[in-house]
Structures are given as structure tokens and as C-alpha cells.
Amino acid sequence: MHAEKFIVKSFSIVMAVGIFSSMGLTSSLAKTPKLILQITVDQLRADLPRRYMSKMGEGGFRYLYDKGIVYEDAHHAHSNTETIVGHTTLATGAYPSRHGLIGNVWYDRTTGHMTYNIEDSRYHLLTRGADVDKSTEIDPTQRVARSDGRSPATILVSTFSDELSIHTDKKAKVFGVSIKDRSAVAMAGHAGKAFWFSKANGEFVSSSFYYDKYPKWVDTFNAKQPALAYANKSWELLYKPSEYTFGDKDDQAWETDVGGFGRIFPHAYGTVEGKYFNTFLTLSPAGDDLTLDFAKVLIENEDIGQDDITDYLSVSFSSTDYVGHVFGPLSLEAEDNLLRLDKTLAELLAFVDKKVGLENTLIVLSADHGGPEAPPQVNEYGIEANYVDPESWDKTAGIEKLKKEFGIGKELIQAFNPPYIYLNQKVIKEKGLDLRKVEQVVSNELMKFKGVSYAVSSSDLMEGNVPHTENMRLILNSHNHKRSGNIFVLFEPNWFINDFDGLTVACTHGSLWNYDTYVPVIFAGANIKPKKVYRKIETVDVARTLSAYLNVKPPSGANGKILKEVLEHK
């Protein structure tokens, strides 16, 4: 009798599950992914992949664009489009005004020093001698750092990966990997683990915020010295020059020769003893290949996606950014780099498919920002554009007149890190001047300078004394009252500063113009049905959508909306 009841009850349960499944009521449970794979390509303007798609294979960009949900009009909705700003926005779903990472560098009025975005003296690097080597570092934002310590403490709100960790009671594995420290740290959030490449010693490193000591597999990876595989080799073209769009433009006047890396192919890495050896790796596809190699070893050794609890892995590819700065996005180097990145993406996705299954993996690809063409390149099309030199601003007749009017003998401008000007508030206070008035008068004077589109004071932003325009909305989205400067300066389209601490570069991003805000947003894998979506969306929508997909609490500062197309198939 008991056996008969058990059989009937079991049959009823099976029937019920079948009915519920046919109604779609169990689909969210059945389709919970084993892995969220978030891929971020540094300085990937959204038009670039399709520009070269005819030369690409099947498994990389083409897979994402053909098999995924592609948002064709996606933009960052903030005004300072830099690496840490974009990565943190993608991670938190919040505007910089909320998440606090308003720039790669800002002036800290408490300490009186410029501050690198993720520096934290409390948490030292675990690898001895892996701090920033100033003789080889071409990224001047890191030269500001006064400590080799790194942590996510400056991120003021939670990330999606944080909320996933909370939701799973720390059972979800959460990792961020990149050549750049800020890219890895932002995406890993407060609860995850971050690894990045050290140009000082050619290894992947982390800080004591994440570990007391490295896992054995990290030591094993570094012991093999993977960077040495590039010694005495060169970045060569994949194909014959005639097969490239820019094959006949290998040496453009605005391209930069960094440390002897050259402006034409092949670009020699040199010997491992070379002063710029590790830096050259990051200026080429080798940087992305090293990132891929480390990510694959991490997936294998940390058992990513091997249980029923959704894991999170961020892989941020940085070479596109460095290549874009040095050679420009419309160059033979940028074209070849993107074709090689396509192969790198294909290898990553194939590896994930083998280990986890793409049907079990929700992939999201985006970029931290786009980037402009070089002004001389734009000039060829009749568009006015040029480089801006703000070094002399404090000494111009107009500013000198203001100093005299205010009775200020010292420099009025204490620090300028685009797009923010920090005034010398100590001197202004000593003179008994009204800071608000000084900000407004200086703003008005700056707007007379060639190449400046608009200058607005912090006081006007805080008090709402600004026009209700799209540009102003993006400026407000970036303004954090504790970290932003006294004056926000917006350059005209295609006008920008091309000096990186003495290094002249072809292009620099960081504006609110479309070429800097326009990025891809693509969701793929996890049995997603292909779709093209043409309404305008914002990058803050990504983290909010991931939260909704997993029924996880949204990040604490999230401004974004749920992208309904991603959830429609569930």
C-alpha cells in the first residue's frame, strides 16, 4: 500500500514538472547559467569590429554579432570617458557621480596630492619588485600613485559581482583579469579577486587585499615566465599589406614611436633585458594573448563554472587602447591588432565552451570607452580639429588679469587633470574671496580659449544653474562633489590634449562626444536568440540586466534599466 502511494505521488510530481516546463514556469531555474563571462575591450568604439568583419573568422566577434543580442546604439552616459570610469560604470550600473570613480586620476584635497584611482597603501603587492616601474611605464596616470598598494576601496557602491557573491553567500567564484590593474580591480569588485600584469617584472600580480599569498597555480604560471616567449621576436602582420584597409598607410605622421618600438611593421620587442620590453608587449596583441593565457589557467585551476552556483569572470583586453593611443584607431597597427584580437576572443570562447559550455555561459561584451581619430586625419575631410595645450593657461593675459583682480600672486590653477581644473582654494580662502565667484569668472575666461566648447563651475552644477541639455546631463552624471574639480572643461569635438606626461600620442579619449561614448553592448551564449536592437541604451543598463537575469539584488547605486530582450528567452 505504501509502495503504491509512493508510485502515484512520484508520477504526479513528474507530470507536474512536465506541465510547468511546458508553461515555461521552470525555465528560469533550468537556464540559470554556470558562468557570467564579462568581456571588456578597452577603447573599442562600436563601429570598429564590423569595419573589419569580412577578414574575421567564425568564433570571435562574428559569433557574438551573429548569435547574440546586439544593441546597436549603446553609449556611456557620462562625460569623462576614461578606463576606470567606464569599467566601474559597467561593473556597478551606476553613473560616476554615484560610484565615485570620476577619472583615472583626481586631486585629493585632503592629502593635497593627485590620486591614482585604485591606489591603497594599506594593501601592498604580493610580488616583490612588481610595483610600477616609472622608467618603463607609458601610462602616466599610474605615475601619480604614491604607493604600490591596490584595492577597490575607492569604489563607493557595490558591483554586480559583489551582489552575486552576497546572493550566494560567497559561494560564487568571482575574478577579474586584465593587463591593467584598474580594469581588473573594478570588475572584480570588493568581493572578488583581481589579477593584472606587472610591466616591472612581466608577471601577473595581485595585492594583499585579495590574498595573503598566491594560490599555487599563480606561482606556477609566473614561474614559466610567459612574457619571455616574445623575447627577440616582433609584432608581425597577419596578412600581406595589400589585404588590409590601411595596408598602404603604415607610417602616418601623427603616429608615435615609443622607446624605439617604431611606426612601421615589424615592431621588434627586443631582448628581455630591454628597458621597454614588457611595455612593448602591452603596445601590441601580445598583451591580450598574455591575458588570455592567464585567464585559461585561472578557469582550469579555480574550477570555474563546474557546479550549480553561477560564477563570474571578467576578462578585460587592454591592447586596443594602447594601440589606439600610439597609432590611432584608423591605422594599420589598429587594424591588425583587432584582427588578432578576434582570434584571441575565438580561442577564449572555444576554451569556455570546452570547459563550461557556451550554452551554460552568459556572455556580455562591451567597452570602457571609444576613441577619436587623430586631428590631422580628420582635417583631411574638411573638419576643423587640433590638439590642445593647456600648459600655458595659467600664464595667459586673461588669467593673469584675474589674478591681479583677485590679488592672487601664486598660481590660480592648482591642478589640471582633464576634464577637471582644481583651483587653489587655500589661496582663495586666505584672500577672503568668494570661491563661487572665482569659479564662475575663471570658467567664463576659459571659454574664450581656442578649442574650449564649454566650461562650467562646480557651484553651478551643484546648484542646478545650468541649461537642460544632453551635454549637461552627461556632465552632471560624472560630477562627484568630493572628487570632481572646481571647473569642468569640455573641448570642442575632435579637439583634445595629446600629451601624456611628456609622451606625445596620436589620440586621447575622455570626452562626451559620440566617438568616445559609442561602444558595443552584446549579450550571447546561454541559448540566447540572435537579435538586433536599435533603440538607444546606456552602459549602466548592463549590470542591472545581469542582476535581473539571476534574480540578484541590483548593485547599491545602480542607475540602469533592465534590457528586456536579454530576459525574453528565459
DSSP string, 365-422: EE-S---PPPHHHHHTTT---EE--GGGGGGSHHHHHHHHHHT--S-SEEEEETTEEE
What H or E segment, with its residue span, contains residue 297? Answer: helix 285-301
Question: Rounded to an integer, what distance in angstroms lies between the CA atom of residue 85 and that of residue 99?
Answer: 9
For 452-478, letters b (16+ CB in 10 Å) and e give: bebbbbbbbbeeeebeeeebbebbbbb
Place of cell 609584432: 235
Q: Is the dihedral of CA 406, 411, 417, 418 positive or negative?
A: positive
Residue type, 449: F
Contacts of 10 (CB under 8 A, 6+ apart): none
Which residue in 83, 127, 154, 279 is the catalytic one? 83
Strand partners, 176: 194, 314
Q: In whole angstroms, how far apart are CA 370 and each of 132, 350, 507?
A: 26, 27, 11
For 357-385, letters b (16+ CB in 10 Å) and e give: ebebbbbbbbbbbbbbbbbebbeeeeeeb
Total residue length of the chain: 570
CA 119 to chain centre: 17
Cell of 374: 587623430
Question: Rounded to an integer, what distance in angstroms lies between the CA atom of residue 109 and that of residue 115?
Answer: 10
Question: Rounded to an integer, what distance in angstroms lies between the CA atom of residue 95 and that of residue 558?
Answer: 8
Q: Provide φ and ψ at 227, rounded to 5°.
A: -65, -25
Of 196, 369, 158, 440, residue with least CA distance to 294:
196
Q: What angle do CA 541, 547, 553 make, to 5 degrees?
A: 120
Q: In whole angstroms, how far apart are CA 488 and each of 433, 456, 491, 523?
A: 20, 5, 10, 34
Place of cell 557595490: 158
Cite the beta strand spans of 305-367 per DSSP E: 311-317, 361-366
Of 113, 249, 268, 83, residue with least CA distance to 182:
83
Strand partners, 194: 176
Pair 478, 101: CB distance under 8 Å: no
**What's the longest Cα–Cα distance across the chain?**
102
Residue 83 designated active-site: yes
Pair 181, 118: CB distance under 8 Å: yes
Q: Provide φ and ψ at 39, rounded to 5°.
A: -105, 125
Show which residues are catalytic: 83
